Amino acid sequence: RRCSLGACCSYRLRDALHPLWQSPLTIPGGTRQSPINIQWRDSVYDPFLKPLKISYDPTTCLHIWNNGYSFLVEFDDSADRSIIIGGPLENQYRLKQFHFHWGAVNDWGSEHTVDCKFYPAELHLVHWNAVEYLSFEEAVMEGNGLAVIGVFLKLGARHEGLQTLVDALPAVRHKDTVIEFDVFDPSCLLPSCPDYWTYAGSLTTPPLTESVTWIIKKKPIEVDEDQLEAFRTLLFTSHGEEERRMVDNFRPLQPLMDRTVRSSFR
């Protein structure tokens, strides 16, 4: 496939502060940090992986807000109304929010890479284990607390479902602005192909806790240039501060260490 092992994905373990997250690139003692490069040829097909079952109730959508790292769409997670189950998961997980990571240009922007290839953006749908834990905040601290579905975005045709979100972005241009967002079904942002990779990882933003079962969809969704440009009109900064464009809000690749990436497909 694309690159010889390691050469293009070499990284040096640095404990320097990463400018964006102001926290160590790698958690001292961290053994399952995210994101990682997914080397297709090294992923192991697991025939026991079940299909992922996704059932979202569009009326659980609450609001969109700019938290200074990304823009996120939050959901009412007070009951089992928007949930995922199956796949690598032993429990049912509730949708809490989804958000994106993107670059200043189309050559990079995703957090995960496949054979060292960056995509221009990556969607994360964040779910928590409401069977074993009482709140999202509690689940964030537990090894099996979270399940995040990652979907790559590639440059191509305009995505009509995404456009609803894009149209709302001017209203959340500045950090800590929020608007009500009544009905939205995030399943429209998922590729129809059921294939995915899965591995044990972490949050890619503070607190970087090692609590995430990652489910990375093999197929990207297509969005057009104007839609990616709309992401880049957002700001890291609040009203009144000197404007800094919200771009390159992705964490650098982290070492795979003693982990295997499994695939749901041959």
For ligand KJ5, the binding residues (CB under 6 A) are 124, 126, 140, 146, 148, 203-205, 212
Contacts of 55 (CB under 8 A, 6+ apart): 82, 83, 84
CA 57 to chain centre: 20
CB 205 to ligand KJ5: min, Å: 4
Nearest to 61 by CA among 7, 98, 16, 109: 98
Per rule CB under 5 A, is residue 96 in the interface with Zn ion?
no
Give CA–CA dist 160/194, Å, rounded. Answer: 21
**Nearest distance, CB of residue 41 and Zn ion, angstroms:** 26
Backbone φ, ψ for residue 187 (5° rounding):
-65, -20
Partner that binds at residue 203, options Zn ion, ligand KJ5, none, CB closer than 5 to 8 Å by kind: ligand KJ5
One character per residue 7-46, x = contact with Zn ion (rule: CB under 5 A): ----------------------------------------
Residues 6+ apart with CB under 8 A from 245: 104, 232, 233, 234, 235, 236
Q: Which of 124, 159, 174, 218 binds Zn ion (CB under 5 A)?
A: 124
Residue 99 Cβ vs Zn ion, minimum distance, rounded to whole Å: 6
Secondary structure E strands in 156-195:
178-180
94 binds, among ligand KJ5, Zn ion, none (CB under 5 to 8 A by kind): none
Q: Cα separation of 266 and 248, whole Å?
A: 33
Q: Is 159 in the site for Zn ion (CB under 5 A)?
A: no
> Rounded to the nearest whole angstrom, what is the least distance from the CB of residue 134 to ligand KJ5 in the complex?
16
What, of ligand KJ5, Zn ion, none, does residue 208 touch, CB below 5 to 8 Å by kind? none
Cα 233 to Cα 227: distance, rounded to the nearest angstrom: 10
Q: Which is nearer to ligand KJ5, 227 or 249 (CB)?
A: 249
Q: If contact means CB under 5 to 8 A according to the sort of partner, which of Zn ion, ligand KJ5, none does residue 26 touch?
A: none
